[in-house]
Amino acid sequence: MSTTTELQKESGGPVAVPLLELRGLRVAYGAIEALKGIDLTVGEGEIVALLGGNGAGKTTTLRTVSGMLTPRQGEVRLRGERIDGIKSHELVNFGIGHVPEGRRVFARMSVRENLEMGAYRFKGVDSADMDRVYTLFPRLAERRSQLAGTLSGGEQQMLAIGRALMSRPELLLLDEPSMGLAPLIVEQIFVIIREINEQGTTVLLVEQNATQALGLAQRGYVLETGSVAVSGPAQDLLADPRIRAAYLGEGAA
Amino acid sequence: MSLNEFWDYLVLGVVLGSIYAVIAIGYTLVYGVLQLINFAHSEVFMLGAYGGLISLTIIAPGDSPSALASVGYVALGLAAGGLFGAVTAYGLEKVAYRPLRRRGAPRLIFLITAIGASFFLYNLAGKLFGRDPLPMPDAYENKKVFTLFGADLNVTQLLLLGAAVVMMIGLDLMVNRTKLGSGIRAVSQDAEVAGLMGVDIDKVISRTFVIGGVLGGAAGYLYGTFTQVKFDMGFIPGITAFAAAVVGGIGNIRGAMLGGMMLGIVETLTVPVFGGEWRHVGAFVVLIGVLMFRPTGILGERVGRTA
Ligand SMILES: Nc1ncnc2c1ncn2[C@@H]1O[C@H](COP(=O)(O)OP(=O)(O)OP(=O)(O)O)[C@@H](O)[C@H]1O
Ligand SMILES: [Mg+2]
């Protein structure tokens, strides 16, 4: 890994085969331009953190990658192949799993049914996939028949992650998994994200909790009103005093 | 009212209620996936009745068909009603609602469109089939009478009830046990996230209309067998079934069944107690009463809605 402390416009660390590539991505909601030309790369096997304050465009970025939004300009490439413009229900077959902001589990379905929904793209539900999720999250196993709407916030987050894993994603998009959770639960969830990554899933992690996210990630990008303000190896971002002051102060635990 | 009379009316009420229930499912299914009150569903029902009428006019049952043939004719009427209903509902979604969805039209526009589609369809039916009521050809000899706890039950009522119950059970199994059913439930709860899971939302919505259309059209045939077939026949049962869906908790399928049964029974029992002119009042008194105590309907509780 590069040891340079100098912040580069393009990210620092070695990017092997780029699994995901965003090039000049512009996305708008009507007249409001939320992304003003973003370049971002996620290499296979990496954990990349996407940071930034409220309204910076983090969620918009993830929603564009998973096909919920169509870019006005620029491209999204997965293993070099253009995927922008493909609808989200087809994109799941390309190996993209998305854990949306605010968890959004199916409240009136049981834990098991939520996980089965995650495997919707397959003919049937593979019990090995189910077991994998229950092993990662034993609390879900205990509550498999409980309605998802009655789970605690932390359990719902686990379910949302488990549900995304059921589609066997190569690339997992996580949108603020720590939102509204107690520090202990956040820690548990971050440990599990690392475990998922070690099992071979590439992760693009959106977080406000910058210190923790950079502790987990190899590289990071900081968004500021729709543009990449800084990017680089996680250690460099953590060490840079300007970044600490501007972005990490509020997010630090 | 003697006990015997009470039972007679109760049985009639259950039969009527089962038809309301089947229609109400159509409202609640579509509401689930689109948050739209499909006011044109009453016309899906009406055209289903014409479907039954046309098929049984072409393949006319003789004067006294055998029991087995009777069942066959009823099945034909149901199938034709279901087909007409399905085609109507499918077309409605494609022509009227999908373009609005593409443009992200506000809810009110959907509602006006639904009402407009309803006007269009029943006037079209009046033009095509005439404005006079037509009798549904009898598919059976309506003589045999069964007795159930002292209540008289004729063949019509038995067949109606049987067909309605089969449809309700079938629908319930479909929604809870099949992949399409999971898709429908997921889209009802969070369409965008259902899409992330790989559910083709357009396809699910289209199929939901077709399923509601089959049920509504078949119910139209059933209803036509004990009233008459007329271009504006959809209005009262439609609005009552919509009320039933609301009483049960709009969006909740078992709630629609329960609400339909309740309103059918209340409507029928209102007749001997208060007189025939109060018939349709009873059902709406129940609607208002239920909503006063449970604004979300009987089974319409929202479990832990997150953000
Ligand atoms: N549906 C929408 N319609 C209009 N504008 C939107 C919509 N969604 C987001 N925006 C705008 O786009 C910008 C980026 O929003 P986005 O949700 O991507 O931010 P974010 O970085 O995820 O913020 P947060 O950390 O608060 O979740 C904001 O200015 C927001 O107001
Ligand atoms: Mg966000």
Q: Which of A41-45, B237-241, B295-299 bottoms out in mean pLDDT, i.e. has the lowest?
A: B295-299
Query: Crossing angle, helix A111-118 and helix A153-165, to 10 degrees?
Result: 30
Strands A47-52 and A219-224: parallel
Q: Is the beta carbon of A235 within 6 A of some atom in ligand 1?
A: no
What's the whole-number mean pLDDT along residues B137-143?
Answer: 74
- Per-residue pLDDT at B271: 87
Residue A106 gets the label, from left (phi > 0), alpha (psi -120 to 50) or beta, of beta
Range with lowest mean pLDDT among A182-186, A213-217, A239-243, B104-108: A239-243
Dist CA B255 CA B243 (whole Å): 11
- Count other C-beta atoms under 10 Å from residue B277's C-beta: 9
User: How large is the average pLDDT for residues B161-169?
Assistant: 92
User: Domain of B92: which CATH number?
Assistant: 1.10.3470
Residue B300 lies in a domain: no
Q: Is A127 helix (H, G, I), strand (E, B) or coil?
A: helix
Q: How far is CA B215 from CA A38, A94, B48, B49, B203, in A?
A: 50, 37, 9, 12, 19
Distance CA A11, CA A23 (A): 13
CA A143 to chain centre: 25
Res A248: pLDDT: 57
* Whether pLDDT at A237 is above 80: yes
pTM (predicted TM-score)? 0.90
Mean pLDDT across A49-64: 94
Q: What is the pLDDT of residues B166-212, one digit of tens each?
A: 999 999 999 999 999 999 999 999 999 999 999 999 999 999 999 99
Asked, for residue B301, whether it belongs to a domain, the answer is no
What is the three-class DSSP state of B229?
strand
Q: Which of A68, A109, A118 sits opposite B192 (nearest CB)?
A: A68
Average pLDDT of A193-206? 97
pLDDT band at A249 (very low <50, low <70, confident <90, very high): low
- Residue B259 domain-assigned? yes
Residues B4, B10: Cα–Cα separation, whole Å: 10
Residue B1 pLDDT > 80, yes or no?
A: no
Q: Residue B138 is part of which domain span?
A: 3-293
Nearest CB to B305: which of A90, A93, A107?
A107
Please check whether residue B306 lies inside any domain of the structure: no
Under 8 Å between Cβ of B304 and A107: yes
Q: Is the pLDDT of residue A117 over 80?
A: yes
The Cβ of residue A227 has, within 10 Å, a number of other Cβ atoms equal to 15
CA A221/CA A213 separation, integer angstroms: 11
A247 band by pLDDT with thresholds 50, 70 and 90: low
C-alpha of residue A97 to centroid of ligand 1, in Å = 20
Per-residue pLDDT tens digits for A159-168: 999 999 999 9
Is the per-residue pLDDT at B12 higher than 80? yes
Q: Is the pLDDT of residue B301 over 80?
A: no
Which is higher by pLDDT, B301 or B198?
A: B198
pLDDT band at A17 (very low <50, low <70, confident <90, very high): low
Q: Of the candidates B185, B195, B305, which has its C-beta nearest A89's C-beta? A: B195
Q: Judge contact between A225 and A214, C-beta under 8 A.
A: no
Give the residue-averaged pLDDT of B52-64.
86
Mean pLDDT computed over A94-119: 96
Of A161, A188, A145, A179, which is closest to residue A105 (Cα–Cα)? A161
Whether A180 shows a pLDDT value over 80: the answer reads: yes
CA B251 to chain centroid: 14
Answer whether residue B132 shows pLDDT above 60. Answer: yes
What is the pLDDT confidence band of residue B83, given thresholds at 50, 70 and 90?
Answer: very high
- Please tell me the total number of residues recorded for chain B in this structure: 307
Distances (CA, A) of B118 to A209, B89, B275: 53, 11, 31
Report B:140-199 residues touching A (Cβ under 8 A).
179, 182-183, 185-186, 189-190, 192-199
Q: Determine which helix (DSSP H) or strand (DSSP E) holds A52, and give its type and residue range.
A: strand A47-52
The C-alpha atoms of residue B17 and residue A96 are separated, in whole angstroms, by: 47
What letter represents residue A67's amino acid?
G
Distance of CA B70 to the CA centre of its chain: 23
Q: How far is residue B199 CA from its own chain's centroid?
A: 26
Q: At what angle do helices B253-274 and B3-34 cross, to 10 degrees?
A: 150
Does B298 fall in a domain?
A: no
Instruction: Report the number of distinct structural domains present in chain B.
Output: 1
- Position B305 pLDDT exceeds 90: no
The per-residue pLDDT for A242 is 72
Chain centroid to CA B140: how far? 23
Band (A13; pLDDT cuts 50, 70, 90): low
Please compute the mean of the pLDDT values over residues A229-245 and round it to a whole number.
86
Which of A25, A27, A29 maximizes ligand 1 atoms within 8 Å of its Cβ, making it the mutation to test the pocket?
A29
DSSP-derived secondary structure letter, A8:
B
Q: In the prediction, which pLDDT does B152 show?
A: 73
| ipTM (interface pTM) | 0.88
Closest CA to A186 of A153, A160, A162: A153
**Is the pLDDT higher at B263 or at B155?**
B263
Asked if B193's CB is within 8 angstroms of A87's CB, the reply is no
Q: What is the mean pLDDT of chain A?
A: 90
Mean pLDDT on A180-204:
95
**3-state class percentages of chain B: helix first, strand second, coil last, to nearest 5:** 75, 5, 20
Judge whether residue A16 has pLDDT over 90: no
Q: How confident is the model at residue B46 (pLDDT cuts 50, 70, 90)?
A: very high
Residue B151 has pLDDT above 50, yes or no: yes
Residue A6 predicted with pLDDT over 60:
no
Which carries the bigger pLDDT value, residue A204 or residue B150?
A204
The verdict on the CB of residue A62 being under 6 Å from ligand 1 is no
Residue B143's pLDDT band (cuts 50, 70, 90): low
Phi-psi map region of A13: left, alpha, beta (phi>0 left; psi -120 to 50 alpha): beta
pLDDT of residue A241: 78
**Residue ID of nearest Cα to ligand 1 atom 7:** A29
User: Taking CB atoms and an 8 Å limit, are A120 and B197 in contact across chains?
Assistant: yes
What whole-number distance in Å separates Cα of residue A129 and Cα of residue A115? 9
Please tell me if residue B306 touches chain A, with a CB cutoff of 8 Å: yes
Give A94 to chain B, closest Cα distance, Å: 11
Distance CA B224, CA B160 (A): 11
Mean pLDDT (whole number) for A125-150: 96
Tens digits of residue pLDDT in B221-273: 999 988 999 999 999 999 999 999 999 999 899 999 999 999 999 999 998 88
pLDDT of residue A1: 40
| Per-residue confidence (pLDDT) for residue B306, from 0 to 100 | 32
A218 lines ligand 1 (CB under 6 A): no
Judge whether A140 and A157 are in contact, CB under 8 Å.
no
Residue B25 has pLDDT above 90, yes or no: yes
- Per DSSP, the three-state class of B145 is strand
Q: Identify whether B264 is part of a domain.
A: yes
Residues of B in contact with A163 (CB under 8 A): 197
What would the two tokens of residue B118 be? 């309803």
CA dihedral B46, B51, B54, B60 (to 10 degrees): -120
Residues B53-77, mean pLDDT to the nearest whole number: 85
Looking at residues B286-296, what average pLDDT do you find? 89
Kindly report the average pLDDT of chain B as a whole number: 90
Do residues A162 and A118 lie in contact, with contact meaning Cβ atoms separated by under 8 Å?
Answer: yes
